[in-house]
Structure 1
Amino acid sequence: MTSTKIKAKRAARQYTWEDVEVLTYKSEGTAPFKDVTRQVLFDDPHLAAQWRYFEVAPDGHTTLERHQHVHAVMVIRGRGACLVGTEVFSIELHDLIHVPPLTWHQFRATLNEPLGFLCLVNSERDRPELPGSEDLQLLRQNPDVAAFIRV
């Protein structure tokens, strides 16, 4: 019988956890984003999933990107908006967002408060794909999307 170490991660303070490093969202210069951090809360090969917490500072935004894997997102702090595909949604506490494979997505915080969300993804996943000029041209055909996206 194998023994598995059981580990509980207590909240160190609001929106941070013991023994969980607050990381930069991405390396500077690799993709456009503004004021985002990430924390990997759970990563277990038996489940093949990773649970992460992202925090977007007021008026910040994540990268406009897409992947082959699915995202399941739950807002646990603040309010903001997100692009999923060709639709922009207002989001707030406890909202659930499903991002299907190969779907453009981006998250933005409001001007006056941070946006924090949990994100569940595959542990092994593809790298993000950034939009090219043709992709941006297609996305910007929708005036709501054109006004929302930051690149």
Structure 2
Amino acid sequence: MSKIIRADKYRWDVPLREYKTEGTGFRDITRQTLMGEGAGEERLNFLTRYFEVQPGGYSSLEHHEHPHSVVIIRGEGEVILDDRIEPIGLHDCIYISSHCLHQFHATGNEPLGFLCVVDRQRDRPQLPTEEEIRQLDANEVLRGRYRV
């Protein structure tokens, strides 16, 4: 059955969850799955999720086989995309390709909020290898800017 999930101040009437339940390398981030897990949504081939990173917080530095798209709907920050770091803000759209090492940082005074659309069936995130960390450290632009 078609439906509307109403929003109120960047919260929807779906469970608010921890970003991840294990591991480190992330700080002050939550998620909500808006579409794809609810009753009657089994035929969707994708999930639409909302992530919110508090000021000074960040997501995991990771990569995976599946690509995904991100739309910034709140705040400002920066994103690491392989060998570069880019400022991001309201309404920016980001395509993260397969095996692109990426990490989101909230740099403003308010949370960084973004919608993220991924395939329903997808692989698990992979953390950077020691070699990938060495490459990040060798990059003057990224040295000291990523978190693990």
TM range, smaller chain: over 0.9
Alignment partner for residue 6 of structure 2, among 10, 16, 33? Answer: 10
Assess if the C-alpha contact under 8 Å between 2:75 and 2:108 holds in 1: no
**How far apart, CA to CA, are the structure 2 residues paired with 1:34 and 1:67?**
20
Which residue of 2 is the match for residue 24 of structure 1? 18
Deviations 1:84-112 (A, max 9, x none): 11110000000011100001000000152
Aligned to 2:81, which of 81, 84, 107?
Answer: 84
1:33 aligned partner: 26
Corresponding letter in the other structure for 2:53? V
Output the CA distance in 1 between the equivalents of 2:24 and 2:128.
Answer: 10
For the 8 Å contact 2:76–2:108, the answer to whether it is kept is no
- Aligned-partner residue type, residue 24 of structure 2: A
Give the gaps of 5 or more residues in structure 2: none
TM-score, with normalisation over the residues of structure 2? 0.93
Q: Cα RMSD between the aligned structures?
A: 1.1
Q: Distance in 2 between matches of 1:95 and 1:23?
A: 24
Paired residue for 1:131, among 125, 128, 135?
128
Tell me the alpha carbon deviations over residues 40-63 of structure 1, each in whole angstroms, 9 at most, x when there is no partner.
001144331000000000000000
Tell me how far apart the structure 1 counterparts of residues 47 and 86 of structure 2 sit (CA, whole Å).
25
Aligned partners of 1:95 and 1:140: how far apart in 2?
A: 27
**Structure 1 length-normalised TM:** 0.91
Task: Give the letter aligned to residue 53 of structure 1.
Answer: Y
Distance in 1 between the 2:57 and 2:31 partners? 13
- From 72, 83, 96, the equivalent of 1:99 is 96
Deviation for aligned residue 1:147: 2.6
How high is the sequence identity, in percent, across the aligned residues?
Answer: 44
Deviation at 1:64, TM superposition (A): 0.1
Report runs of 4+ in structure 1 exceeding 3 Å deviation: none
Equivalenced residues, count: 144
Counterpart Cα distance in 2 of 1:116 and 1:134: 31
**Runs of 5+ unmatched residues, structure 1:** none
Which residue of structure 2 aligns with residue 42 of structure 1?
Answer: 35
